[in-house]
């Protein structure tokens, strides 16, 4: 390679070459030595010095599509939509390409050597020069609301296909005699309190309004938690983490009460008294949490905040099953917590929010063994539901938690096999931009 004549340009080329070679070395070390041969020695430790290579959650190897297969009609529809990619050698090839691309992207971003230090320096510089501009088109760009809460913005989208799929799925549940309802979680931007953002740079609320309006016109039962918190006069931003897009666990408990009341309206036998917020205590981890948005802007622009694990003050007895993590255990409410997520204060390496029901899992089943409980509910949800489902499980005999972002089986077949008393879909407006989670086949 011919070096530039300029000393500065030559230095930049050398630095870039170093990082490229180091990334390649780390990639090969991780994939070949660590994952391929199971090696963990001084060499791998030096190369992967700042990568938690051996402490990640195991990959889910469950073939959900075999356990809950799609019917022939669904497969025919999939094929008729032009998907030659869904069969044979081409599928394997494309899957392998996607996997390699994802791994390379991860290793050239998240695991770039000294990445956190470099990003902190860049953000410290931006803070010093008061640069706070986020391009509207920037992927997952982070900006500040007026009171210092971090947020991201969503573009306006056409939600007709998502609405049509949900309406059709609700009709299918009705034909099976199973009540269905869609619950809309709020996002951090409030359509009432953030007029300078809502409808100007962020369109998440407008997308949600359009979507819920279409469901309402079709007679689908909905629960708009945005309106519920507004009607109760709650501080919208105060219900969220400052550095994360998720709501607080206490807000999830509040939402669980609303969903349980909705289930009562649907005729499902539940015990709403068991989700009374006064019956839960907090175990606070002070300064323990830096959310996803805080991680993006780093500690140079965001301060860590508290996170709490909530526990009922009454006696609990559960059977908790997470096939993707090989978990089938009995215990009290704490059996649903992944305590490894709060075992140490690690702002960039750990996600304490994922302590709740072990983060995003394809399928979890929670059986409440308390006497006198009834009701079996399926909750299809995104990560907002992670701090709702465990509290809902206190009011029902059984709650099934399903995340379509990683569950690749047939949702309809699952319902036919498991026969829940009701089905709830709980998504934040952010999910409206993810068409995959609305393929409710």
CA pair distance 40, 53, nearest whole angstrom: 9
**pLDDT tens, position by position, 76-85:** 554 444 443 4
The whole-number pLDDT of residue 6 equals 73
The whole-number pLDDT of residue 408 equals 92
Beta bridge partners of residue 182, listed in sequence order: 222, 425
Task: Give the model's confidence band at 100: pLDDT under 50 very low, under 70 low, under 90 confident, else very high.
Answer: low
Unique residue bearing structure tokens 């918190």: 229
DSSP letters spanning 226-287: HHHHHHTT--TGGGB-SSSSSBPHHHHHHHHHHHHHHHHHTT----GGGG-GGGEEEEEEEE
* 369 close to 329: Cβ distance less than 8 angstroms: no
- Please give the residue that has the higher pLDDT: either 23 or 115: 23
The whole-number pLDDT of residue 81 equals 44
**pLDDT tens, position by position, 173-232:** 999 999 999 999 999 999 999 998 999 999 999 999 999 999 999 999 999 999 999 999
**pLDDT tens, position by position, 183-198:** 999 999 999 999 989 9
CA pair distance 114, 99, nearest whole angstrom: 24
67-76, 80-89, 143-152, 406-415: segment of lowest average pLDDT: 80-89
pLDDT greater than 60 at residue 269 = yes
């Amino acid at each position: 390679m011919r070096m530039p004549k300029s000393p500065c340009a030559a230095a930049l080329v050398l630095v870039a070459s170093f990082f490229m070679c180091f990334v390649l070395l780390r990639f090969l070390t991780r994939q070949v030595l660590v994952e391929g041969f199971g090696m963990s020695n001084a060499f791998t430790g030096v190369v992967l010095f700042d990568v938690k290579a051996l402490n990640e959650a195991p990959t889910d190897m469950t073939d959900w599509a075999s356990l809950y297969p799609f019917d022939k009609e669904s497969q025919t529809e999939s094929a008729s939509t032009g998907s030659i990619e869904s069969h044979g050698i081409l599928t394997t090839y494309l899957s392998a390409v996607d996997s390699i691309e994802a791994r390379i992207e991860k290793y050239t971003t998240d695991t770039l050597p000294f990445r956190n230090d470099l990003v902190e320096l860049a953000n410290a510089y931006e803070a010093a020069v008061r640069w706070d501009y986020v391009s509207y088109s920037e992927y997952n760009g982070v900006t500040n609301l007026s009171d210092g809460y971090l947020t991201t913005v969503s573009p306006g989208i056409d939600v007709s296909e998502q609405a049509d799929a949900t309406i059709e799925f609700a009709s299918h549940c009705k034909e099976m005699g199973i009540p269905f309802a869609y619950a809309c979680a709020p996002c951090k931007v409030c359509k009432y309190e953030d007029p300078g953002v809502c409808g100007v740079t962020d369109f998440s609320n407008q997308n949600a309004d359009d979507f819920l309006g279409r469901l309402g016109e079709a007679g689908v039962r909905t629960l708009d938690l945005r309106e519920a918190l507004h009607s109760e006069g709650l501080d919208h931003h105060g219900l969220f983490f400052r550095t994360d897009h998720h709501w607080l666990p206490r807000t999830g408990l509040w939402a669980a009460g609303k969903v349980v009341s909705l289930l009562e309206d649907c005729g499902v036998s539940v015990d709403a008294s068991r989700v009374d917020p006064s019956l839960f205590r907090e175990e606070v981890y002070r300064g323990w949490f830096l959310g996803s948005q805080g991680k993006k802007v780093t500690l140079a622009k965001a301060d860590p905040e508290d996170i709490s694990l909530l526990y009922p003050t009454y006696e609990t007895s559960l059977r908790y099953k997470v096939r993707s993590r090989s978990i089938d255990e009995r215990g009290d409410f704490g059996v649903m917590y992944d305590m490894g997520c709060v075992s140490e204060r690690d702002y960039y390496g750990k996600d304490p929010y994922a302590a709740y029901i072990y983060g995003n899992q394809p399928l979890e089943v929670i059986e409440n063994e308390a006497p006198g409980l009834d009701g079996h509910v399926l909750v299809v949800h995104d990560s907002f539901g992670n701090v709702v489902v465990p509290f809902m499980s206190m009011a029902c005999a059984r709650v099934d938690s399903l995340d379509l972002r990683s569950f690749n089986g047939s949702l309809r077949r699952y319902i036919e096999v498991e026969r829940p008393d009701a089905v709830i879909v709980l998504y934040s407006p952010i999910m409206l931009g993810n068409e995959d989670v609305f393929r409710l086949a």
